[in-house]
Structure 1
Amino acid sequence: MATTLENLGGSNAPEKSTVQSTAHSTSDTSNGEIQEPMTKRGLKSRHAQLIALGGTIGTALFVGSGVTLAKGGPAFMLIAYILMSGLVYMIVGSIIMTAAYLPVKGATPAYFATRYVSPSLGWALGWYYWYAFGIFVPYEITASTLIIDFWNPPVNPAVWITIMLAVIVVLNLLPVSVYGETEFYFASLKVITIIGLLILSFVIFWWGGPGNPRLGFYYWKDPGAVNTYILEGSAGYAVSFWSTLISALLPGQTQFSFAPEMLVFCCGEMKSPRRNLPRAAKSFIIRILVFYIGSVIAIGVICPSNEKELTNGTSGAGSSPFVLGIKRAGIKGLDSVINAAILTSAWSAGNAFIFQSSRSLYSMALNGQAPKIFTKCTKKGVPYVAVLASSAFSLLAYLNVNSKAGEVFSWFVNLVNTAAFISWICCAITSIRFQSAFAAQGLPREDLPYTSWLQPWSSYVCIGIFTVLCLINGFEVFLPSSWSVSSFFSAYIGIPIFLILYFGHRLTAGRSDTWCYPLHDIDLTTGLEDLKAEEESTPQKPSLLTRLRQRFP
């Protein structure tokens, strides 16, 4: 069934038949007309898992986490990551429960917001995603050039920017199966690096480094498990905790941001998505919790929070808490190895961000929320116009060659400081509307490919907590002697931008729409039969255990 959302932009409260999916066919249409090429399902479950994981393991975990450690100390940092991990677990349940039911081609979180809530919310969220993911690409490219500076090469940074930009764009112009395989190995290298660092940290904890005694929790005693921040005394500890908690979601210090959404951006090009998306989500949750919580524990054990190099702006591995801790243990020679891994991480994250940005633009074009030219695909199913348009953001990386222009680039990045909070609030709202419509229409819960025992209550919890965090994320500027106009705008400018996008559509193209669709009018069927038929025609690959039993009965 070849249907779109093109008429949603200015429709009245929709009948079921008008709230349609982008479940397009790639073959000839029934009236004999040839359709334009569309994206193809070339991603396997393992590709989606590693693309999402690779996008969340970037320079922030290896380097930016040092700033969080310096703010709060190892105990506050660990508590913050555990709390955020719990929230990530809840929002994954919200997002995947919604997406796994109808993972049609062109599906994104913004698509589901359009389908289950309102065109205005989907429009605002789609364009916000496109910008946010797009601006993170030059951010990661710039981080890569700083990492390369660790080796002091006699080469202008613009050369490295050009090389990295060219490679990232070319990879995203290749068929999605090739892109997925490349990103799989990129991300695998990150995983291997983290596992190696965790093992080394474990050894240092129990046995110490060469000529050094067992370290244990020494740095939790000296300089201490928690720090004060900005203020002194109990107020300083409170500021430290809240600042550390918020830092656990901000770009540049961690990359929990957008972790769950990355899986959804893959589902439109994933093989057997109703089966593989839930599988990928479950594995992804386990891996991200193990790697992030494990890394935080390791960092807090091997590196003291008062280490000056954590916050002095040293390039690349020079300010990585892993490298600093390993050096303190008397182990030498790993700086360059870890720096190379950090470089690969930044490169890979930039690669994933272009993918997400281009798919957001492609999806909006399919739905009539962006110019139709962005639906153009190659015969291999690559939305090349959307990829090239999204890649244009990468040119902003050249601003960082000049220090004054670099300040301008920082403002571009600051526009999306609250993007993760806003995204997760919208995703939770979408999930609540989806689940409410599912119940109102009397559909059996057993039809859902993915469920969570915490739903729908965890979606309400996420809306409340992320709204609070969004509103207080810049609280530091209101403390004594801490006011800064630039910091204030950096913390809060993303909120009015999103509201302008939402109400700009609501008061123009969407002025005749309802604020949200009536539950009984939400379409929960269009595209479903096509997905089920596709799934039935694709045999499920036996598990490794089953294959072993068949081979050795």
Structure 2
Amino acid sequence: MALGPTLGTGLFIGAGQALAVGGPASLLMSYAFLSLLTCFMVTTVAEVATHAPARHGTLVTNGFRYMTDSMGFAAGILRWYTLAMFVPYEITTAMVNLGLWNPGSAIALRMLLIMTIVVGSNFMPARHFRASERLFTRVKVGTIACLLALSLSIGFGGATGHASWGFEYWRKPGAMHEYLFPGSLGRFWGLLQCVLHSSIAFTFAPEIIVHRAETVELVRTEIGEVLDPTVQANLPSKVAFDVATTTFPYILSSLAMGIMAPYNDPLLTNNGAGAGLSPFIIGMNTARIRIVPVTATLAILVSSVASARSFLFLASRTLCAMSELGHAHRVLKIRNRWGVPYVAVSATGLFALLAFISVRISSSITTTYFLLFVNSSGYLSWLVSCVIFWYHRQSSGLCHNTNSYRFAIQPFGTYFGALMSVILLMSNGLAGGIGGPRPGPKIVRILIAYCSIPIFAILYFGHRFRTMVPYRTSYSDPGVHDGQELRGKAVSQVSEPQQGESSQPISPGIV
């Protein structure tokens, strides 16, 4: 799976909240819809990537390449802090998975242990981190496969002494939950809530999938930042394969979770407080199978810790790349003799301390807060990717001999992705419904759900004010004639690898 290294509790815990508000049919439709949206967004990002592959990712590189410096800076920092916010989210959901819902000193000690593992492992030499990443990816993919097999076995009567469930929960209490309102309005409202809660599993999926594909091709052809026909030929097919291998298990998992637990089980939301247990764990406990629920809980815990490691790696390398490309303070690119950007890792690791909010507030509520913030930032990143695509198409139109690959679904996919990004971003504050059970005070939820918008605006206008007068330079790209001037800054040159760092790009997405 392309998202194997970052596959965490968003699939297990976040889906439980989605099941509770929407029902099994809404959960399945939500994952199918988000998979389709991810496919459209992947083609949006991939079309730009095939024109000029970059080892640092779309938001870090192409924001400067096709738009203004200020927009590129805001997009790069958006990617950094959103990936960094996944670290406390994964740590907090690990506590929820263990049933540690009540605040107190006991949860603080366990979180400190997990934080030490997550942050400490990111100071490992890159080659050792990649080796451990491959191992954890196999464990997580194996966990999903085993959970799916167990769900089929339990749901269809394969467990000894256990009657077949089948799709009983689709009939009673029902396939779609009439959430807060009766009739069709309630089912639609539950479906919308289901999509909002399920989005956490797909945040940054388009860019991570494309980034992995172009990194593999850049390593294979050893071309650095130079456009090569081989990459153009291989990248689209590799991206399509990665999308299929990522979304198909997600859809199967959503179907299995609808079999394992009814949407009215109070443990899914900790009695309405927020995040609760995974539907898989609830189903195994209901089936009264010994040892298996404990084993599955530990497997999900390992998945959460491994994902937090990967997100910290991605976030810290994003910050280091911004520095290497001249868009952040130069101290952030300092590396030790093993090639680890320890300043960037340390700065990003500070986000993990936000998980200590669970010491004062229930981890079920804290997890929901993190989910709202990460989702809104993810929707914003999708919208920025669509804007980058639009500017890329504009610049390609100025070139007489452009070799840019074009997907058949475009530009419709980008228009659809931009529209859905705006709708979901504006609807994010409605997660939980109107007048229904809400984790935490209403004003706090609203502020967290929409604070990514003013943060992005502050980054953009702050950078614009600092530079005072934005400038434009010629875009030095194959296929662009000398003297032609395009919107945005010229392609930034990738810095030489530091001492101890391999010349090949590092990406935890390589599995």
**TM-score, normalization: structure 2?**
0.82
CA contact (8 A) 1:211 1:330 kept: no
Query: Who is 1:284 aligned against?
Result: 242
TM superposition shift of 1:478: 8.0
Answer yes or no: is the 8 Å Cα contact 1:118–1:517 preserved in 2: no
Unaligned residue ranges in structure 2 (runs of 5+):
222-229, 497-502, 505-511
Distance 1:78 1:362, change over 3 A: same
CA distance in 2, matches of 1:512, 1:295: 48
Q: 1:526 to 1:233 in 2, by over 3 A?
A: closer
Deviations 1:207-227 (A, max 9, x none): 353323332211111111111
Residues 416 and 158 from structure 1, CA distance in 2 versus in 1: closer, same or farther, beyond 3 angstroms?
Answer: same
Query: Cα–Cα, structure 1 residues 398 and 245, in superposed 2: closer, same or farther, change >3 Å?
Result: closer
**2:44 maps to 1:94:** yes
CA contact (8 A) 1:317 1:323 kept: no
2:222 aligned with 1:271, yes or no? no
CA–CA distance in 1 between the matches of 2:473 and 2:493? Answer: 24
1:142 aligned to 2:86? no
Report the Cα distance in structure 2 between the residues aligned to 1:85 and 1:404, rounded to whole angstroms.
31
Partner of 1:354: 312
- How many angstroms apart in 2 are the aligned matches of 1:454 and 1:61? 28
1-structure distance, mates of 2:145, 2:370: 34
Q: Of the candidates 381, 391, 407, which is equivalent to residue 452 of structure 1?
A: 407
Please tell me whether residue 521 in structure 1 is matched to residue 469 in structure 2: no
- Which residue of 2 is the match for residue 498 of structure 1? 456
Encode CA deviations 1:378-434: one digit per residue, 9 max, x unaligned.
344332221121112223333433449998998677544400100001011112222
Structure 1 CA distance for aligned equivalents of residues 344 and 186 of structure 2: 47
Query: 1:37-86 CA distances to partner (integer Å, 9 max, x unpaired)?
Result: xxxxxxxxxxxx55x3331x211212221111110111111111111100
* Cα distance change of structure 1 residues 408 and 81 upon mapping to structure 2, 3 Å threshold: closer
Q: 2:191 aligns with which of 241, 251, 276?
A: 241
Q: Would you say 1:395 and 2:345 are equivalent positions?
A: no
| Partner of residue 380, structure 2 | 422
1:155: Cα distance to partner?
A: 8.9
Q: Counterpart amino acid of 1:255?
A: A
Aligned AA (1:295) = S
Deviation at 1:325, TM superposition (A): 1.7
CA shift digits 1:85-144 (9 cap, x unpaired): 000011111112323443344444232111111211111111122222222212212333
Query: Which residue identity is paired with 1:54?
Result: P
Cα pair 1:127 1:361 within 8 Å, conserved: yes
Q: Is the 8 A contact 2:474 2:485 kept in 1?
A: no
Using a 3 Å threshold, how does the CA distance of structure 1 residues 477 and 495 change in structure 2: closer, same or farther?
A: farther
Q: Taking structure 1 as reference, are residues 473 and 515 closer, same or farther at Cα in structure 2, changes over 3 Å only?
A: farther
Aligned equivalents of 2:275, 2:447: Cα separation in 1: 30
Give the counterpart of 1:471 among 426, 429, 432: 426
Structure 1 length as normaliser, TM-score? 0.76
353-362 vs 265-274, greater mean Cα deviation = 265-274
SS of alignment partner, residue 467 of structure 2: coil
Q: CA deviation at 1:148?
A: 4.4
Distance 1:188 1:513, change over 3 A: same
* Aligned-CA RMSD value: 3.7
User: What's the offset of the Cα at 1:513?
Assistant: 4.0
Q: Which amino acid in 1 is paired with 2:423? A: V
User: How far 1:147 sits from its partner (Å)?
Assistant: 3.6
State the SS of the aligned residue for 2:326: coil
Instruction: Give the aligned partner of residue 166 of structure 1.
Output: 116
Letter in 1 for 2:300: I
Give the counterpart letter for 1:300 in structure 2. Answer: G
| Structure-2 separation of matches of 1:214 and 1:59 | 28
The one-character-per-residue Cα deviations of 1:305-342 (angstroms, maximum 9, x if unpaired) are 11121111699998210121233334332111111111
Structure 2 residue identity aligned to 1:364: M
Q: For 2:11, which of 40, 44, 61 is the aligned residue? A: 61
Shift in Å at residue 454 of structure 1? 1.3
Give yes or no for contact 2:15–2:27 (8 Å, CA) kept in 1: no
Q: Do the aligned partners of residues 226 and 145 (structure 1) sit closer, same or farther apart at CA in structure 2, a change above 3 Å counting?
A: closer
Aligned amino acid, residue 329 of structure 1: A
* Percent identity over paired residues: 30
Q: Is the 8 A contact 2:35 2:247 kept in 1?
A: yes
Do the aligned partners of residues 239 and 432 (structure 1) sit closer, same or farther apart at CA in structure 2, a change above 3 Å counting? Answer: same
Task: Please give the alpha-carbon distance, in whole angstroms, between the structure 1 residues aligned to 2:272 and 2:284.
Answer: 16
Which sits farther off after the overlay, 158-167 or 409-418? 409-418
Q: CA deviation at 1:299?
A: 0.9
Question: 2:313, 2:345 within 8 Å by CA — same for their partners in 1?
Answer: yes
- Letter matched to residue 109 of structure 2: V
Deviation at 1:156, TM superposition (A): 3.7
Question: CA contact under 8 A between 1:109 and 1:264: conserved in structure 2?
Answer: no
Rg (Cα) greater in structure? 1
Give 2:177's match in structure 1, choosing from 227, 234, 242.
Answer: 227
Q: Does 1:432 align with 2:390?
A: yes
Cα distance in structure 2, aligned partners of 1:300 and 1:410: 21
Where 1:211 maps in the other structure, the secondary structure is: coil
